[in-house]
Amino acid sequence: MSESESESGLWSESDAGVLRLPSGRLVRGRGLRHPVHPAAPLPAYGVYLLGRQPPETPWESHWVRWPDFRLPADRAAARAALTEAWERAAGQRVEVACGGGRGRTGTALACLAVLDGVPAGEAVAYVREHYDRRAVETPWQSRYVRRFGEG
């Protein structure tokens, strides 16, 4: 992490799983089943996309009930959590995570890309190119991203 990123509390683009949105906001996506390197910086805020409540974290976090391979149980609550994550990413280290870090996380990152100005029909491709080529695992997750742009 560069000195200016360390001082500002932002991710470095070289950090594992970090996605740069077109505005320059940096968000880390990850799978909770995969341990983070002990020297990796901690997030200031996390959004956790799981079917059941995640363990407590020493940083502020929000849980979105989102079963594996599915869609959020409460779409309005998911939109609010993702909007807050996008807003916070302007000046804080924000992470979005699910169990494996691809399907739900990729879908959420694509929604953040839509909030950042990427056309909804292009957001899945954007995340696959810049985060993980296998992100967004199901057709209904892709459809959710396209409809997320409708607001």
Q: Which helix (H) or strand (E) holds 142?
A: helix 139-148
Within-domain flag for 59 = yes
- Domain range for 58 is 22-34+43-148
Within-domain flag for 114 = yes
CATH number for the domain that contains residue 97? 3.90.190.10
CB 95 within 8 A of CB 43: yes
CB 128 within 8 A of CB 135: yes
> pLDDT tens track of the chain, all 151 residues?
343 344 457 999 989 899 999 999 999 999 999 888 888 899 999 999 999 999 899 999 999 999 998 999 999 999 999 999 999 999 999 999 999 999 999 999 999 999 999 999 999 999 999 999 999 999 999 999 999 978 7
Within-domain flag for 134 = yes
Within-domain flag for 94 = yes
What value does the mean pLDDT of the chain take? 92
CB 63 within 8 A of CB 48: yes
The closest of 111, 112, 101 to 135, measured between CA atoms, is 101
Calpha distance 146→41 (Å, rounded) = 32
Within-domain flag for 28 = yes
DSSP 60: E
CB 9 within 8 A of CB 79: no
